[in-house]
Structure 1
Amino acid sequence: MKLYFKIKPLLKSADSEKEVEKMEDFITCKEDLAKAEAKRKELEEKMVFLFAEKQNLMSQVQSKPAATSPAPGDETKSVPLPQGWRCYMSPEGCRYYVNTGSKETTWERPSATYGTPVRPPAQRNSLPPVVNGTPYTTGSAMHPTDPPGMPLRRATMDKQNPGNNSPVKRQNKEIKETKITINCVTFPLPSVTPDQPEQQLLKPNEWSYCDYFWTDKKDPQGTPSVGGFEVLLQKQLKGKQMQKEMAEFVRERIKIEDEYSKNLSKLSQSPLAAQEEGTLGEAWAQLKRSCHDEAEVHLKFSNKLQCEVEKPLLTFRDNFKKELKKYDHHIIDLRKQLASRYAGVEKARKALADRQKDLEVKTQQLDIKHMNKHEEDIKKARRKSTQAGDDLMHNVDLYNRAQSKWFEEMVTTSLELERLEVERVEMIRQHLRQYTTLRHETDMFNQSTVEPVDQLLQNVDPAKDRELWVQEHKTGELRPVDMDI
């Protein structure tokens, strides 16, 4: 008990020290709060001053439209835009610049050094000032019912996110107006203006395969059913079938020639009219021998047809179907890869649209009471939108690469199929000409077999035959006379 009374004054002293420390912290916080409030008022006054200055500058700019407000895409001749950059005008009348290659968007005019934006002298005074690292502007996004400070932030968000008139969306709109995607392949639309150049053929005036089989063939219902490359493959397979049928035709002709040769040989050995005599008998015997000779000619013709016409037609490109399957599988794989890339583009495009919509919604839902939280949400939404845009450009790049590879292989393979078709036609023409040559030779040999018959027939003399026959078969020269009485 005595000990308690001894330390009680010490305990009271400690409590008083803690209270003093708390009071000092409170005073420090109060001073910091007062400084922050003063800083806020100073910034608000500065923003009001800058706003008034901007309005004054804008009025000066509007009074000289020819010098400070050129049409979208027109720049001063002294400082032209770098290659790959284009200029657009936002609904608020402000310019922004788009790099058509990298899809980069900026409010500042790019310099001659690629990717380094600078403000042109004509616009340097008319561009919005920067407050806390953010461009400050006015426009249709300001509302009279917004509390003080709110129009500044809302206009800033509109400036950083042009919305439906952003360069990326504007460019996508232009692409949609000039191009169309059919079955995952992108084609240019037919030119609607005289100044728009038309797509030139790769091989003009040649009717080449590489110019006329890019789209898919449609069925009677109008649905794409067969790819252009498949049509070329069907042509090659049909040519192979026609070649096979030609060989079958020649084989049938060979059978006829063989049968004809056998029949002629058999006929030449017939004993019919073998007893004919005289010059006519000699001609007849020669005619029978000519049948035998003609049989030999047709037998040779049959053998040559088999060796020089039928066999080449049958053996030409025995592995042709396997080669066509290699081409077919290669093009099909590239087309599948192209379809996969196109699906990735569509998915990325949808994701970008969702992110932009989310960003617009968050921008329109700014609340002065929760300004910091909304700013963080907007920053996150903007980062996600930017990432979605990067993903879209990456997927479009992959798609374009896949389509370019498919295009190159289509051109190369279609030209190869074209060469193979020319080679096939030339081969068939050559062997059919060989057929006609053999046929002419057969006719010549046949003519040579009947020429002796013609000569003997010209020498047939009935009087000579009668003389020879009488000499051989006479029975007496004395004629009968009258009987005497």
Structure 2
Amino acid sequence: MDIVRASYPYACSTSGPGGGSKGQLVFPEGAVLLVAERSDDGWCRGYSAGNQGWFPASYVSPITPEQLLVHSVNPVALNSILRSPSWTVYATVEGKLYYVNNNSKETSWTLPSPPGNSLDTLSVPTEKSPLHVSNGVAMRRKTMKEAEKPKKAKYRIVNGITFCIEGGEPQELMNPQAPSYIDYFWSDKGDRSGFDVIREKHVQGKDVIKEMMDFFKERAAIEEQYARNLNKLSKSTHGEQEEGTLLAAWKSLKAELRQRSEAHSKFASKITETIEKPLFEFKESQKTDRKHHEQLLEKSRKQLQSLDAAIDKAKQSLNGLVKTSGKMKRQSSINGDVKIGDDMKKLEATYNQAQRLWVDNMIAACRDFERHEEERSAYLKDRFLAYIDLCVEAQETTAQALTYSTNMVDNINKKADREFFIKKKGTGTLRPVDRVILET
């Protein structure tokens, strides 16, 4: 229940909840009114001088507890408004109204109903409660419970988006089975939106793929250079002066170098074809989806911020009309209230529709980016395993060549090499004898 004062005189209007003079409350400028009900279309139902009815909210202004005392709105004045034979109205020092039954001394925070109707009571100030009256205004001691506090806002606006207040009614997770992007990136973090955080993760993943491509490109280049060096060394003249089993061992080593060179050259080629190039194609395939979601989210986010600014502007226009309505004709003032109210409802509907579209786009983006990240992780794992398989394959090929070289080295026989040399290079078996110059 609020106490208000009439800023302008009001007669009646053909529009509004009352639909004419029978349902509307008439009052002069400066009249004190009790507001019992407020409607969403800018009208109030209240009491004044024993009468009740509807009137435009823009014609009155609230009275603060300090103004309540300054204007001497005491129980006498309040009861002149109520004019009830059974109840007396009092005001606490904070401006909270309560009512005392003149016969039963029953108390209530709510406005007494007209005669014949029952009044709901609350277990609030009783005759024995620590209330006392000073200078005609009801006062309370510090031991009295605080009056009902005004309702807190049910939502908060962050960068044009509407959220429930922190600590409010909890929302169920969209994917309670496992942590998911669609449940943890709705709010903004500083000047970055949740979508920006997800997009940055996606871009980082793309950069890592690029780094992986560079890594394997360099790896293939090293293998190719190694293969060329091995092939060059295999064609050298080292060990050609050897003979026998030693010469065969030298030849086997050079043959192993040639095979190893071919194996590493093939290894380098396979790294390029089966790892580096597919990584590039995979990176490019994810770029299209990212740009699609970037455009949709950026467009819907700008629309939301624009609509939020339009709502603030409409609120300011409504407040301005309330302040200036006393200088306008009554009917045009009421029509202005109704028009602005209709515009506000349209803005609200448009905003909510745009926000639902943004939510849908955000859910789609979260799911696609999450899917892309899972695909990227699985694909990189597959490429790593493919590289390991290529290493094993190259090692097996070189191992076979090395086995042949090992056998040839094991076959080195110094006796056989000596025999081979003697047979090939020997100059004769006759050894020198003593010379006899004078025979005896």
When residues 143 and 257 of structure 1 are mapped into structure 2, their CA distance, relative to the original with a 3 A threshold, is closer
SS at structure 1 position matched to 2:284: coil
Question: Is residue 462 of structure 1 aligned with residue 428 of structure 2?
Answer: no
2:171 is matched with 199
When residues 293 and 103 of structure 1 are mapped into structure 2, their CA distance, relative to the original with a 3 A threshold, is farther
CA apart distance, 1:482:
5.9
2:153 is matched with 177
1:424 is matched with 376
State the AA in 1 paired with 2:310.
Answer: G
CA apart distance, 1:356:
4.2
When residues 292 and 103 of structure 1 are mapped into structure 2, their CA distance, relative to the original with a 3 A threshold, is farther
Question: Contact between 1:190 and 1:198, CA under 8 Å: does it hold in 2?
Answer: no
Identity fraction in percent: 31
- In structure 2, stretches of 5+ residues that fail to align are 1-32, 56-62, 75-79, 83-96, 98-149
State the AA in 2 paired with 1:463.
Answer: K
**In the TM superposition, what whole-angstrom CA distance separates every residue of 1:216-243 from its partner, at most 9, and x where no partner exists?**
343xxxxx2x333233333323322332
Match of 1:310 among 256, 262, 276: 276
Match of 2:208 among 242, 247, 258: 242
CA apart distance, 1:337:
1.1
CA apart distance, 1:412:
0.9
Once the two structures are superposed, the pairs formed by residues 187-226 of structure 1 within 5 Å of their partners are 187-191=163-167, 196-204=168-176, 206-218=178-190, 224=191, 226=192
When residues 455 and 104 of structure 1 are mapped into structure 2, their CA distance, relative to the original with a 3 A threshold, is farther
CA apart distance, 1:245:
2.9
CA apart distance, 1:260:
1.8
Question: C-alpha distance in 2, partners of 1:322/1:262?
Answer: 40
CA apart distance, 1:400:
1.6
Question: Contact between 1:355 and 1:388, CA under 8 Å: does it hold in 2?
Answer: no
Question: C-alpha distance in 1, partners of 2:169/2:300?
Answer: 29
Question: Contact between 1:142 and 1:151, CA under 8 Å: does it hold in 2?
Answer: no
When residues 412 and 128 of structure 1 are mapped into structure 2, their CA distance, relative to the original with a 3 A threshold, is farther
Question: Is residue 440 of structure 1 aligned with residue 406 of structure 2?
Answer: no
State the AA in 1 paired with 2:161.
Answer: V
SS at structure 2 position matched to 1:276: coil
State the AA in 2 paired with 1:189.
Answer: I
Question: Is residue 404 of structure 1 aligned with residue 356 of structure 2?
Answer: yes
Question: Contact between 1:237 and 1:321, CA under 8 Å: does it hold in 2?
Answer: no
Question: C-alpha distance in 1, partners of 2:207/2:314?
Answer: 47
Question: C-alpha distance in 2, partners of 1:312/1:301?
Answer: 16
State the AA in 2 paired with 1:475.
Answer: T
Match of 2:308 among 342, 358, 365: 342
**In the TM superposition, what whole-angstrom CA distance separates every residue of 1:424-464 from its partner, at most 9, and x where no partner exists?**
23222212221111111111111111101111112222122
**In the TM superposition, what whole-angstrom CA distance separates every residue of 1:110-164 from its partner, at most 9, and x where no partner exists?**
xxxxxxxxxxxxxxxx999878x869xxx999979xxxxx969xxxxxxxxxxxx
Question: C-alpha distance in 2, partners of 1:277/1:95?
Answer: 120
Work out the number of aligned pairs and report it.
Answer: 324
State the AA in 2 paired with 1:198.
Answer: P
When residues 274 and 200 of structure 1 are mapped into structure 2, their CA distance, relative to the original with a 3 A threshold, is same
- In structure 1, stretches of 5+ residues that fail to align are 1-90, 109-125, 145-149, 153-164, 166-172, 219-223, 363-373
Question: C-alpha distance in 2, partners of 1:310/1:134?
Answer: 78
1:392 is matched with 344
Question: Contact between 1:290 and 1:450, CA under 8 Å: does it hold in 2?
Answer: yes
Question: Is residue 259 of structure 1 aligned with residue 225 of structure 2?
Answer: yes
More displaced, 345-354 or 313-322? 313-322
SS at structure 2 position matched to 1:201: coil
Structure number with higher strand proportion = 2
SS at structure 1 position matched to 2:429: coil
Question: Contact between 2:217 and 2:276, CA under 8 Å: does it hold in 1?
Answer: yes
Question: C-alpha distance in 1, partners of 2:422/2:279?
Answer: 62
More displaced, 383-392 or 452-461? 383-392
Question: C-alpha distance in 1, partners of 2:186/2:389?
Answer: 42
1:45 is matched with none
When residues 130 and 291 of structure 1 are mapped into structure 2, their CA distance, relative to the original with a 3 A threshold, is same
Give the TM-score of the pair, scaled to structure 2: 0.63
**In the TM superposition, what whole-angstrom CA distance separates every residue of 1:347-399 from its partner, at most 9, and x where no partner exists?**
2222333344456x68xxxxxxxxxxx9x72x654443344334323322221
SS at structure 2 position matched to 1:181: strand
Question: Contact between 2:286 and 2:372, CA under 8 Å: does it hold in 1?
Answer: no
**In the TM superposition, what whole-angstrom CA distance separates every residue of 1:45-70 from its partner, at most 9, and x where no partner exists?**
xxxxxxxxxxxxxxxxxxxxxxxxxx
Give the TM-score of the pair, scaled to structure 1: 0.57
1:415 is matched with 367
Question: C-alpha distance in 1, partners of 2:54/2:403?
Answer: 111
Question: Contact between 2:41 and 2:338, CA under 8 Å: does it hold in 1?
Answer: no
Question: C-alpha distance in 2, partners of 1:288/1:256?
Answer: 21
Please tell me the root mean square deviation across aligned C-alpha atoms, in Å. 4.0
SS at structure 2 position matched to 1:316: helix
Question: C-alpha distance in 2, partners of 1:103/1:281?
Answer: 108
Question: C-alpha distance in 2, partners of 1:382/1:314?
Answer: 67
When residues 104 and 383 of structure 1 are mapped into structure 2, their CA distance, relative to the original with a 3 A threshold, is closer
